[in-house]
Structure 1
Amino acid sequence: MADVAEMAGVSSQTVSRVANNRSNVDEATRERVLAAMQVLGYRPNTAARALATGKFRMLGVISFGLNAYGNARTLEAIVAAAQDADYSVNVVSVRAQTESAVRDAFDRLTMQAVDGIILIEAQILDTPALRLPSGLPVVVVDGEESRRHPGVDTNQAEGARLATAHLLDLGHRTVWHVCGPQDSYAARRRAESWHRTLKAAGAPVPPLLYGDWSAASGYAAGLELAANPEVSAIFAGNDQMALGVVRALHEAGRSIPDEVSVVGFDDLAESAWFLPSLTTIHQDFEEVGRQCVALLFDQFRSGHATVHGATPVAPTLIVRDSTSAPPTS
């Protein structure tokens, strides 16, 4: 720091203010200090900064299944929001939803010095006996309204209602649903809302078919649905399963959307390039990430959680070519 100060012709305190991005430095001086830092290869000592400010400028993320599209996009959004606030992110991926696995993940992040922790799709938090380690702000993605910790999630129920109502409004007698795995919060919420929407409309409620979010599981369910001539509308729990459903229908010779309409959920970047392009529910993962980071920062400022339960982020219906009115004959 002294070398930078000497080269830039300023005090060490001014170098410190620039390194900490303080506003009380005029722009010409800031540029001179930054140029000296570049020439000398200076990097602020994060440990010393943490001792001075009490903040490590590091967020921890615990994710239960990064291979899932929604979880990966949510993590990407959290990282972007953290970087915008000049924070880094340390990620721990946990395979098993067990109390010991959660505590171990917390321990590892705590030892690596984080200011707060975000958990992605943590059904284990619904275990009544589980108590998270105290002392760190926590935010949960996919939060139940009754949970003790602040949470953020796409309004899964509203997304499923939009998908189901869209198909009913087109004139389909009922809507079949390929649900995600039974241990998934999002899958349960979507299935429950699909069921409620059919009941409210006085439509028959067909039996659920289960998948595991993969295209292969959608294909298996699609083969079963394709063999049933009564099926004219299908709501798949995510776009990947919808892709499998579409493949199965094509192989069975059932035209989309002339004979069968299909709706997905997520709005993958590739969904617009399906054949036909896929009607789906768009999730605003960027907003979910921003809200998560904002809730952590709110706890940093106040010293406690000022919001509890889940903050919903609204989904939107994207209508493309995979849905139409049912066949008339």
Structure 2
Amino acid sequence: MLKVLIIDDEPWSRQVVKSLGAWEEHGMQVIGEAEDGIEGLELVEKLHPGLVITDMRMPGLDGVELLERLKHQYPEVQIIVMSGYDDFVYLKQAIRSKAVEYLLKPVDRAELNNVLSECAKERERQRLTGSPLMLMDQPLMERYLAYRQRIYDQLLALNKPAAREELEKLGRELERSVPQHQLEAMIERTARDLLLLAGEAAKTNGGVTAADAPDTPDRPDKPWPSVQAMVAGLGDHFTELINTLLEQRKNRVKLDLAEVEDYIRNHYLEQVSLEGIAAHFLVTKEHLSRAFKAATGDTVLDRITRLRMERARELIAGRDMPIKEAAGLCGYEDLAYFYRVFKKHYGITPGELRSEK
């Protein structure tokens, strides 16, 4: 199933998109919703969707900046852009970010599902074009998938000798079973597939960052010259990758969640973010997010928002301070967004709170 994330600051708009999409028919599943670009990026990092459907006009991190971040950080993610405004600036940004489609609100059911169908077809084309399975008969396909799973298991176990041994066995299988005229294409597709597999294992096993990940094995400009060359290059890559993961595990700083909570309480009125807090404590965003949620029941963003809302309520209840100024002091430059967050948190608007006093 292709995982889908919907980003829109209006809950009713997200609900409309969810109700219009024929998700199962297209092999898709909506796995999350976000009400702004900041939360959207956090969920992309956490849930790994294959498709993002996003509004363009949002408070905080708007659609233009969101698309730019997605383009550079998650180039594999497909994007569908929505906007209530026929705005050429937004259209240009959607094109630059390689969005699949630009939909005007109100979204039309048929138009949305046509685009979803194209997304599904494109994802399938990408999967099949580079897959070694397309060149295999059924018995070889089953043997390949078994070797592939064992390689993945050994990468997860950080077992260098066993990962290389399974890779060598796979190499001998390919040499024995693949016709000579298909071998060159098979080598290329198999290498690409196993590099992607190693990347997925690294993410699952603690998340090697782009800066820390070893380079793709050195190779000539022309295709791999032989199965043995591919096995040797990938074997070296697996070894370097596992060494990096082991080093990260050894050097990983133990996260003191009491210190994290103190840091949030001291900085929640600033432009603090999950990424910034993780960098401060020398851990990944994923590790911080999982550990904080497990220990407190809150996401980092939930905790920051709750502290800001409590402070905002104190300031507004005092009557003397303008609501706009109170919002700014609590980290909200966009007054309309502040009103929406406050109403969602307390069930009343800031003005209604003040009128009660």
TM-score by length of 2: 0.27
Choose between structure 1 and 2 for higher RCO, CA contacts under 8 A separated by at least 6 residues: 1
More helix by share: 2
1 or 2, which has the higher strand percentage? 1
TM-score by length of 1: 0.29
